[in-house]
A and B are shown apart, each in its own frame.
Chain A
């Protein structure tokens, strides 16, 4: 009678705590990535040296600064074993390796030297046995050798004081939406038409001609399908919009990747349409029938209310409507800040005003393409 092999204990899985912590912090890792880590360890990568193990984790799982920081913190949290204990542990492991496979005791029956820490892993941090009472992301070795506290059981690691605000915070500016997200949004704005030089093979027409005439003198060609959608972005360059200037730069750069028929970003101050680069009439003519995305706080950043500004803005929106334009207003200030400012009055007018985030940008694009 054969006994069913027991599945490997979750507690014995190497680097699982680190892997889980990376996922908790937003790294898009999957099971395949973890299995690759196990394969690499099995093949001898990572070795028995925490430095090499950390490097392996970085090679396989770190793609951003945040990932690197998480891995560094995780390894820094591992308190190295005292030298005598480490030597003793290595000696035990060496003896185990010397024995034949069949005589090797299970992890439960491993001999432990007096005074040595619990032999939870061949290498501190490699097997981070996550028992139910432990934090699964905390290296087991740290808990195993932490000094016993006044109560019973394992001493929990505690900070002696609040951590100093030194160099462990890597503040990196990130746009509200990445270039790639924006490019994909623009690609939803499609109005395909066959225009230009006939260069694409029209298989159906060619077959039809062959059937009708009995012979095909030359294949029938047709123009390629092109996106004729137009998008005009009017961005407010007034000082209150300064915090969003980096995002607006990304927005401008993303237009090149949107595969739009015509796209441009023009700046204005306070009232859309008052651009200096191109007269309003020329701009309206160029983007007639297209989509217009206005990005402005409309006075909500400072809580200002200006009747003149509202009147002139509404006049521009009416003109845009006359030219067949669909307009959406993106206000980067939170909606609760619009109350009592010009933004609230503009919102009441004939324009859809939305806050700036990914979901609302997608909604804006849907509106501009007539999908809602």
Chain B
């Protein structure tokens, strides 16, 4: 008899701390149902990582197993680590029986653990575009079959390792029969193009910046409620209106990093701390503190401060 499906359904309404759409929720549910990785793209600060946390919260999956990718990351780093140096040190002691074997020095890493455990969980591979261009391709097969081979583990030690209560996995690591496959959420800022086979394997969500003031205000309120902050609604609505004006001008000026939702939330917080109100918050008269929050690049700041054509003296 087939094991019952281990995951609940994700819905936009159930995500109390995260504002999303039914369309996004449908893609999330499809990815979970088909056991396909979910690739979330969008500009920095638009809530890609938070989406993963929202899914985990709605589906009662506990803490997200997060892996932040670095430029030096390799796909193997997500699966297992072989502590060769420790083994070498241990092998010097002729009385150390442990040093005669490899498997005590093999440690599963976040994705490897999630696959081997067979328990429902969510693995977040954050900012995959930071890694080398081989990284996604190396992960492709693992994310396709949800199993992998530990090359460093000799075949003759496979059974020994599987019987070890501290290990419990063989040379081929896969979920126990009836075990759940982890939900894998991958985020990317599109700094580097991802290979097409990898894109094909994933279900894809493009998070765009919302232009509806009411939705933006809802996002801000949702973020503030998560941290238990109370801020006047009138200030939030006014800040959202001014922020949209800032955003529009950013696009007209061609800024490299236009402010996004995370900047908006920080800005509202800062306005509240500075005890500013509707009379002294304006997109046309931003203060240095506003610049520091909204514009992250020196070049963008210089472009912003440059008078526009209409303002330039004739």
Q: Could you tell me which A residues sit within 8 Å of B by CB distance?
A: 28-29, 32-33, 36, 39-40, 43, 45, 55-56, 59-60, 63, 178-180, 183-184, 201, 203, 206, 210, 215-216, 219, 257
Does B100 lie at the interface of the complex (its beta carbon under 8 Å from any beta carbon of A)? Answer: no
Q: B interface, by DSSP: helix, strand, loop or mixed?
A: helix
Q: When A43-B33, A180-B193 are in contact, do A201 and B85 touch as well, CB less than 8 Å?
A: yes
B14 interface hit (Cβ, 8 Å): no
Residue contact A180 to B195, C-beta cutoff 8 Å = yes
- Enumerate chain A residues within 8 angstroms of B36, measured Cβ to Cβ: 36
Does A40 lie within 8 Å of B200, measured CB to CB?
no
- A28 and B196 within 8 A (CB): yes
Q: Which residues of B contact A183 (CB under 8 A)?
A: 133
In the complex, what residues of B have CB within 8 A of residue A45's CB? Answer: 26, 29-30, 33
Q: Contact check, B133 vs A40: say whether CB atoms are below 8 A apart.
A: no
CA distance A63 to B199 in the complex (A): 7
Evaluate contact between B88 and A39: CB separation under 8 angstroms.
no
CB-based nearest A residue for B197: A28
A29 to B201, CA, bound (A): 9
In the assembled complex, the CB of B199 is this many whole angstroms from the nearest CB of chain A, namely 5
Q: How far is the CB of B186 from chain A (nearest CB, A)?
A: 14
Q: Which residues of B contact A56 (CB under 8 A)?
A: 30
**Residues in B neighbouring A63, C-beta threshold 8 A:** 196, 199-200, 204
A216 — nearest CB in chain B belongs to which residue?
A: B92
B50 at the binding interface (Cβ < 8 Å): no
Q: Interface majority SS on A: helix, strand, loop or mixed?
A: helix
Question: Given A28-B197, A36-B36, A206-B88, do A257 and B192 touch, yes or no (CB 8 Å)?
Answer: yes
Across the two chains, which residue of chain A brings its CB closest to B29?
A: A45
Please indicate the chain B residues that have their CB under 8 angstroms from the CB of A59 in the complex: 26-27, 30, 203-204
Asked if B292 lies at the interface with its beta carbon under 8 angstroms from chain A, I say no
CA distance A180 to B193 in the complex (A): 7
The answer to whether B3 has its CB under 8 Å from any CB of chain A is no
Cross-chain contact A201 with B133 (CB below 8 angstroms)? no
Inter-chain CB contacts under 8 Å: number: 54
Interface CB pairs A-B, < 8 A, 26: A28-B200, A29-B200, A33-B200, A36-B34, A36-B36, A39-B33, A39-B34, A43-B33, A45-B30, A55-B26, A56-B30, A59-B26, A59-B27, A59-B30, A59-B203, A63-B200, A179-B193, A180-B133, A201-B84, A201-B85, A201-B88, A203-B88, A210-B92, A215-B92, A219-B85, A219-B88
- Of the four ranges (under 10, 10 to 19, 20 to 34, 35 or more), the interface on chain B belongs to 20 to 34
6 further A-B contacts with Cβ under 8 Å, apart from A32-B144, A257-B133, are A40-B34, A45-B26, A45-B29, A59-B203, A203-B84, A257-B192
Cα–Cα, bound, A210→B90 (Å): 12
Per CB-CB distance, the 6 closest pairs between chain A and chain B, nearest first, are A36-B34, A63-B199, A216-B92, A59-B27, A43-B33, A183-B133
B39 to nearest A CB, angstroms? 10
Which A residues are CB-close (under 8 A) to B192? 257
Which residues from chain B sit less than 8 Å from chain A, CB to CB? 23, 26-27, 29-30, 33-34, 36, 84-85, 88, 91-92, 133, 144, 192-193, 195-197, 199-200, 203-204
Q: Which residues of B contact A40 (CB under 8 A)?
A: 30, 33-34
Give the chain A neighbours of B85 by CB distance below 8 A: 201, 219
Tell which of A29, A60, A210, A257 touches B30, judged by Cβ atoms closer than 8 Å: A60
Residues of chain B contacted by A206 (CB below 8 angstroms): 88
| A184 CA / B23 CA spacing, docked (Å) | 36
Q: Which residues of B contact A180 (CB under 8 A)?
A: 133, 193, 195
Q: Using known A-B contacts A39-B33, A43-B33, A45-B30, determine if residue A178 contacts B200 with beta carbons closer than 8 Å.
A: no
Question: From residue B27, how far is it (CB to closest CB) to chain A in Å?
Answer: 5
Return chain A residues, CB-CB under 8 Å to B30.
40, 45, 56, 59-60
State A81–B197 Cα separation when bound (angstroms): 37
Q: Is the Cβ of A60 less than 8 Å from the Cβ of B203? A: yes
Question: Inside 8 A of B84's CB, which chain A residues have their CB?
Answer: 201, 203
Neighbouring A residues of B133 by C-beta, 8 Å? 180, 183-184, 257
Shortest distance in angstroms between A180's beta carbon and chain B's nearest beta carbon?
A: 6
Q: Given A59-B30, A179-B193, A180-B133, A216 and B200 touching (CB < 8 A)?
A: no
A172 to B275, CA, bound (A): 49
Q: Which residues of A contact B200 (CB under 8 A)?
A: 28-29, 33, 63
Minimum distance in angstroms from B87 CB to a CB of chain A: 10
Q: Please give, as numbers and ranges, the residues of chain B lying within 8 Å of A215 by CB-CB distance.
A: 92
A324 vs B50: C-alpha distance when bound (angstroms): 55
Chain B residues within 8 Å of A28, by CB: 196-197, 200
- C-alpha gap A28/B199 in the complex (Å): 10
Q: How far is the CB of A215 from chain B (nearest CB, A)?
A: 7
Q: Which of A33, A36, A216 contacts B88 (CB 8 A)?
A: A216
Within the complex, the shortest CB–CB distance from B28 to chain A, in Å, comes to: 11
Give the one of A59, A201, A203 with max B CB within 10 A: A59
What is the CB-to-nearest-CB distance from A68 to chain B, in angstroms, rounded to a whole number? 11
Return chain A residues, CB-CB under 8 Å to B33. Answer: 39-40, 43, 45
Indicate which residue in A55, A178, A184 contacts B193 across the interface (CB closer than 8 Å). Answer: A178
Residue of B whose beta carbon sits closest to that of A36: B34
Provide the bound-state CA to CA distance between A74 and B249, in Å.
39
* Cα distance, A366 to B112, chains bound together (Å): 38
Chain A residues with CB under 8 Å of B193's CB are 178-180
B88 to chain A, nearest CB (A): 6
Compute how far the CA of A263 lies from the CA of B88 in the bound complex, rounded to whole angstroms: 39
Complex Cα distance A206/B85, Å?
Answer: 10
Q: How far is it, in angstroms, between the C-alpha of A33 and the C-alpha of B84 when the chains are bound?
A: 40
